[in-house]
Amino acid sequence: MKHRCLYDSIKDALKGILHVLRFERNMRIHVVCGLLVIILAKVLGVPRLEFMILILTIGMMFVAELINTAFEEVVNLITEEYHPLAGIIKNIAAGAVLVAAITALCVGYVVFRDYFLF
């Protein structure tokens, strides 16, 4: 089996990310929100450790959305008809994104609450 070079692997991974950005509205929303959080954190002077936690949380959100999209595409590849199990798989993957989003909101609240409480 021929091994692929690192450049080709990275190029393919970027193609996958760009595909999701192009065709998945929710991923674009996550990217915009993530960028706004990073800008806000920089403007407010959030300490380094909290900033790193924000970056990890944003990354977790992106990973969850990428995996969710991958599951949806695999299910769509296998069947075009509605199947209860296909629906369950898609719902579970969407649930993972919801858990990541709720976690991100909680982290954001903990990090930013002292900046906005009067």
Of these residues, 50, 65, 72, 80, which one is catalytic? 65
Give the 3-state secondary structure of the chain. Answer: CCCCCHHHHHHHHHHHHHHHHHHCHHHHHHHHHHHHHHHHHHHHCCCHHHHHHHHHHHHHHHHHHHHHHHHHHHHHHHCCCCCHHHHHHHHHHHHHHHHHHHHHHHHHHHHHHHHHCC
- 73 annotated active-site: no
- Residues catalogued as catalytic: 65
